[in-house]
Amino acid sequence: MKGPLLLINFKTYLEATGKKSIELAKIAEEVSKEKGVNIAVAPQFSDLKSVSEAVSIPVYAQHVDPIRPGAFTGHVLAEAVKSSGAEGGLVNHSEKRLKISEIEEVLEICRGTELVSIVCGNTVGVSSAVAALNPNMIAIEPPELIGTGIAVSKAQPELITRTVARIREVNKSVKILCGAGVSNAEDVAKAIQLGTEGVLVASSVVKSRESRRLLAEMADALLSKPDSSLVGSKRRITA
């Protein structure tokens, strides 16, 4: 996937469960095509297949378990996620934390099943630690901001630039997303200016009465440029 990404996490909101998950995914698809911007959706497990069939934008599982095919009742098998039509999965979301040895195991399994992995990290330290495990993307999401409507990019812009810099020391190629408190177009623009390559959004979009308009504004903002005075020099080195 080239260019910045906007991923919508449906969580376990009723507003994005069952039929409503398909409706929201279709809105996301329309905005994606109209704006020429990468938008992906992460519905619940039981909606993965019907959403994948309904839209052509990328679909992600919200979690993948560190297991292989076999006797693991109630677990999320990478092969099942893949066969449902999903492109990848979130790993270690703040609401579904894993042990570090499990994260590595899941990443190996994702590589084996050709699933794109997005590992979430809550702090500078954790984000740079998981960078060493070489996932496809890392989403920075300080838990204190999740669901607050306060964008990490505004509340603590230096946290973003510092985390990006630390991740780049360990891993030059991983795609970095900004994943907490992003609730409007301004937050998205700010996240991009600070050097990340996309955002995770959830309640702001899922619970909005005007999801389409909000997504369209966010999509425009996603095409902002990184602010070279903040991140340019670092990115040149790491590119």
63 binds a second copy, rule: CB under 8 A: yes
Among 113, 144, 147, 155, binds a second copy (CB under 8 A): 147
199 binds a second copy, rule: CB under 8 A: no
Helix (H, G, I), strand (E, B) or coil at 201: strand
CA–CA separation, 31 and 155 (whole Å): 28
CA–CA separation, 177 and 197 (whole Å): 5
173 binds a second copy, rule: CB under 8 A: no
75 is catalytic: no
92 binds a second copy, rule: CB under 8 A: yes
Q: Nearest CA to 7 among 133, 78, 114, 93? A: 93
141 is catalytic: yes
CA 185 to the chain's CA centroid = 16
Region binding a second copy by CB under 8 A among candidate stretches 29-37, 85-93, 151-159, 217-225: 85-93
CA–CA separation, 222 and 216 (whole Å): 10
How far apart are CB 212 and a second copy at their closest, in Å?
22
Which one-letter amino acid corresponds to residue 174? V
Active-site choice (141, 158, 210, 217) = 141
How far apart are CB 189 and a second copy at their closest, in Å?
25
CA–CA separation, 72 and 35 (whole Å): 42
Question: Binding pattern to a second copy, positions 108-137, x when CB under 8 A?
Answer: -------------xxx-xx-xxxxxxx---
26 binds a second copy, rule: CB under 8 A: no
17 binds a second copy, rule: CB under 8 A: yes
CA–CA separation, 106 and 168 (whole Å): 22
213 binds a second copy, rule: CB under 8 A: no
Q: Strand 38-42 and strand 60-61: pairing?
A: unpaired
Among 34, 79, 114, 210, binds a second copy (CB under 8 A): 79
How many of the other CB atoms lie within 10 Å of CB of 56? 10
81 binds a second copy, rule: CB under 8 A: yes
Give the chain's end-to-end CA distance (angstroms, integer). 17
What one-character DSSP code corresponds to residue 216?
H
Catalytic residue ranges: 93, 141
Residues forming the site for a second copy (CB under 8 A): 9, 11-14, 17-19, 42, 44-50, 61-63, 67, 69-77, 79-81, 83-84, 90, 92-104, 121-123, 125-126, 128-134, 146-147, 166, 170, 202-203
